[in-house]
Each structure stands twice: as C-alpha cells, then as structure tokens.
Structure 1
C-alpha cells in the first residue's frame, strides 16, 4: 500500500474509524431498529499510527480504518455498548459487518504474530496493518487464513445429517465442519471429516458459498454433499451425538424446543435453510 495515499486517506474529512479491542467494538442501536458500529472522524480519534488498520473504501468514497487498542474507549453515549461478532454480526448492516470482520481478523493476527517466524526478532506493523516486517532479516509476514469446510450432508431420502459437538448444550445441532489438512483438496476434506466424525461415507460434493470466520483466522467454505452410507458412528471426541432429520422431524424439534438451531451468525444456518426451504428460528 502506498504510504502517501494512506496518509492522505487518513487525513480526509470524510474518513471514519472505530476502535477494536479483544475482538470487540462499540455498537449502538438506531431509531430505525438497526445496529451500527460507533464510528468517529479520523481527526477525532486517539491513535498511534502503528496500530492503524486500513479497511477499505465504500462506493461513496468514504475511507475506513480500525484502531487496535488495549481497551475500548469510554462510551460515547449511553446507547453505545461493547459487542463481539457473535453478538452483533447479524444485527449490523452488511457494510458494518464486513468492516468489523476485517478489523477483528487483523487484530487477531497482529496480537498472535508479533515475532518473526524466521529469526525470532520482534516484527513491525506495515502496510496499514496488512503486513508484519522483520527489521532483522527483512522477512515479510502476511495475515494467515485457515481454510475450513462445513457441509450439509443429505442421504438418498433427502434427510439432513446434523451433529452435536461435545461442548454444546443438550439439543444444539448443526451441520458438520472441520479444517482442511495440508496437501488436501476441499472435496477430500469434506469426505474425510464426515467419515472421521460420524462414520458416514460421502460421494458427490458440491461447493455452495463461503464465509470469513475470524475466530481467530478461518475461512469457512460451505458445501452440499450426498451420503452413500447412513450408519452413524460418532467419534466421541468432537461429536457427541449425530442424527438424520427429515424436514418434518426438524420442524417438530424446533417447535418443541428439543432441537436448538445453530448459532445465527454461522453459514451453517444458510446451508440448512437451503435444504429446509424456509428460515430457521433463532435463539
């Protein structure tokens, strides 16, 4: 990134910024019933240039920055409150949600990768938060993204396979997911994860959509897959329980409270809804 352009962007009167700390930012509810990030003009912001992250430019030419701080500033008004992505992700506008995801991802990476992996020297922030550069050996380090697959698996009767992770509350079910291993294709990762976690064999795999998942640094790649076997054998390590659901069984489970929907911010909900045919209830 051009440093002169970044300096000019920061100094522009329309530029807006917000503070991110520990994966949280300040948000406030609007009179229209929405939720916005609490932003401020750049010339009003308490910041050090080293911890200033450039997030992009919108269609109106407004530049956006995030400021990484050890704590959030005092609330600007009584309506402002700290919130993380899990709480605010579904409430924010598309623009604000994308800005917060970007900021949280950069903050996570910056906090966890302060030293050069080549020589061990403390590295320095560069390119408005998108590079860490080592002053000793000259190595440049870039934000990491860990690919993970998440899959809606159906059988020949069009039932959906849902599992409950060992640390989830009773009744919380969602589709399966897992990280891609080195040297592995995405399709192979889908088949391996389903086989390892619940013992089901998967044939056809089809990509649907993706979602950034900065908890702390993943990219969720969503798939639909067709099972060629239906016998379930949970691994007991990650998955405590797994079941095949028809649409009627899932609807009855939601209505009775026996089945809890996946967390609303996750792409899991969208993949389940594609199969289910209507919106899911939310906690």
Structure 2
C-alpha cells in the first residue's frame, strides 16, 4: 500500500461533543496556547515545508466581516510532532477580499494542497484536508438552501443556521466509488478520459447516487463508463478528497469480460495492462498514471504488488549508485 492515506488513525481529537457547547470556540480562542491554521482563497499558509501553526499573538486581528473560525481539534497524546499534546488547533478562513497580506511572516506563503501534499507528513496531511473540506463548505453555504436568507456559523464552525427560518445545515460529503478493474488473467483495465492527454490512464470512478451502496455504485459506474460487468468487489480503503467535498471509496473489482466499450462521453479509450507491461509503459512514457497522492495510485500499486517506478525514481537510483561507487573508489584509493 502507498501513502495516499498515510494513517488510519485520527491524529486530532475533534472534540465533536464539546465543540457543540455554547461558548466552546470562544473559550479556545481566549487561550494563549491554541494555534491557528490560516486559509485564504482555498490555500493554506505554509511555514517552510510544513503546514503553518501560528501563535495567535503574532497574527493581526482578523477582519470582523467575512472571517470564519472553525475548531479543528486537539493534538492527541503520543505524537512526536512540532505541537505539544493537548494543543487546540483553530482554522481561520480569511475573507476573499482580505486585502493587504503584507503581515504574512517571512518564509511563509499560501499554497494549495496539490502543490505541497507530497512533502507533508501524516499529521499535516490530516489537518490540511480537514481544513480544506470545512473551508470549502463555508464558502458555498453562506445562504440557506431553503429560503435564500443568510446563514450564521455555530457549533465551533461545524454548523450553519439560517437567520430567517432557523434551519440547520452541516458540512456535506459526496461519496464516490473508485475501482481498479482486474480481469480473469490478472491484467488491469485502465481508462483514458477526454479531459486528459491520450497517454494518461487511471482507474474508473463515479459518484454514489441516492439510495445506492458504494458497491452498487462501483458496479454501475464500471458498466456505464467502460462496458464491463463486475462479478465481485474487494474494498481496499478510502481517501478524503475535498475538491470540493468528495470521499473516495476504493475497490478492486473483478470481471470475466475481456472486451471494454468506452462510453465516448467521459472515457475516450480503455486498455488492458499486465504488470510488467504497465511498468515498462510508465518508464518509457507510453503511459502516465496517477501521482502517489491519490487513492487511484494506491489501488494500482495494491494490484501491482509494490511500488510502480517512474522515470525520476530510476534516475535518482542510478545517481545514488554512481555516488556510492565514487565513495567506494575513494575509500580504496
């Protein structure tokens, strides 16, 4: 398995019951020990190569209008990170028109998740994804879906209530099934989407519809997009993907079919690969596959039985071997 979902453990205690208590967030914000994660226009403020956890004392006062504060959780015991056990973390989402950001500390800059995820550890990854998801939700639920009136943020940022009709609204997550399709001969079927270059291949995914299980959605989506019938499924794992609000449910799907029929709506083509064939195609540029941040790559490597190498991996390995050889020669000289 790869590191797209680095840890199944919850590294932050979200204090789900406590955060609903009146005044809980205000109490946390009144402590000197809490730390702030800052978001602006869908990006987080990084501190070097890691996510920034800023002392509120060094930050300017947040604008009164448009700023959202959300309680993300408390650092659990036993973690060896930059934050002490018991530290409360609060997300501060700045308004879109926050104005001059010249106050940003030196060495810190706003970055999107896709740009920095490869360098994040498990703790930063969980905090970033949680923050991204809830920030996205606040940005799209400023008004009531029932009557159109403004909504206010409550329950430490985890609920919005309509100021007119009192209806309560909570963060939304859209489940999607993503499947690595394996044939009776052990080969994998990968698809090419019209939105991609013609040599890019990935697993097939689609959203779970109302009244469907994840497994039913997987079977339906595969039949619709590549014309293959799955006779069985094996669940592998899930990945939160808040772009804007997905939860990817990963499966290995098994079929006896040997012919694929792309729908020509989303899928341009579909191709069967053996293990050695796929590895060779990735190395020679014949096939570009998903990056290691995604559950699609995790499913591929689950099927493959290990790490799929890319040209950069081979180059790095050869360079390391050359350096080792030079060192050995130097020692023997």
Please report the TM-score for the alignment, with normalisation by the length of structure 2.
Answer: 0.79
CA, structure 1 residues 89+3, in 2 after alignment: closer, same or farther (shift >3 Å)? farther
Is 2:296 the partner of 1:268? yes
TM-superposed CA distance for 1:206, in Å, is 1.8
**2:36/2:89 contact within 8 Å kept:** yes
Query: Matched residues in 1 for 2:101 and 2:269: separation?
Result: 43
1:53 pairs with one of 70, 81, 84 = 70
1:15 pairs with one of 20, 26, 34 = 34
The secondary structure found in structure 2 opposite 1:40 is coil
Counterpart residue number, 1:232: 260
Counterpart residue number, 1:76: 105
Q: How many residues are aligned here?
A: 277
Is 2:176 the partner of 1:161? no
Cα RMSD, aligned residues only: 1.8
**1:210/1:219 contact within 8 Å kept:** yes
The secondary structure found in structure 2 opposite 1:90 is helix
Query: Matched residues in 2 for 1:263 and 1:8: separation?
Result: 41
Query: Matched residues in 2 for 1:57 and 1:269: separation?
Result: 31
Query: Matched residues in 2 for 1:158 and 1:83: separation?
Result: 40
**2:117/2:293 contact within 8 Å kept:** yes
**1:10/1:63 contact within 8 Å kept:** no
TM-superposed CA distance for 1:164, in Å, is 1.3
Query: Matched residues in 2 for 1:150 and 1:274: separation?
Result: 13
1:36 pairs with one of 28, 47, 50 = 50
Is 2:19 the partner of 1:4? no
Counterpart residue number, 2:198: 170
Which structure 1 segments of 5+ residues have no match?
Answer: 30-34
**2:192/2:201 contact within 8 Å kept:** yes
Is 2:108 the partner of 1:93? no
**2:44/2:112 contact within 8 Å kept:** yes
Is 2:87 the partner of 1:62? yes
Counterpart residue number, 2:272: 244
CA, structure 1 residues 25+218, in 2 after alignment: closer, same or farther (shift >3 Å)? same
TM-superposed CA distance for 1:105, in Å, is 0.8
TM-superposed CA distance for 1:48, in Å, is 5.0
Which structure 2 segments of 5+ residues have no match?
Answer: 1-19, 77-84, 313-333
2:249 pairs with one of 190, 203, 221 = 221
Is 2:170 the partner of 1:129? no
TM-superposed CA distance for 1:213, in Å, is 0.8
Query: Matched residues in 2 for 1:21 and 1:225: separation?
Result: 39
Query: Matched residues in 2 for 1:242 and 1:184: separation?
Result: 26
TM-superposed CA distance for 1:246, in Å, is 0.4
TM-superposed CA distance for 1:244, in Å, is 0.9
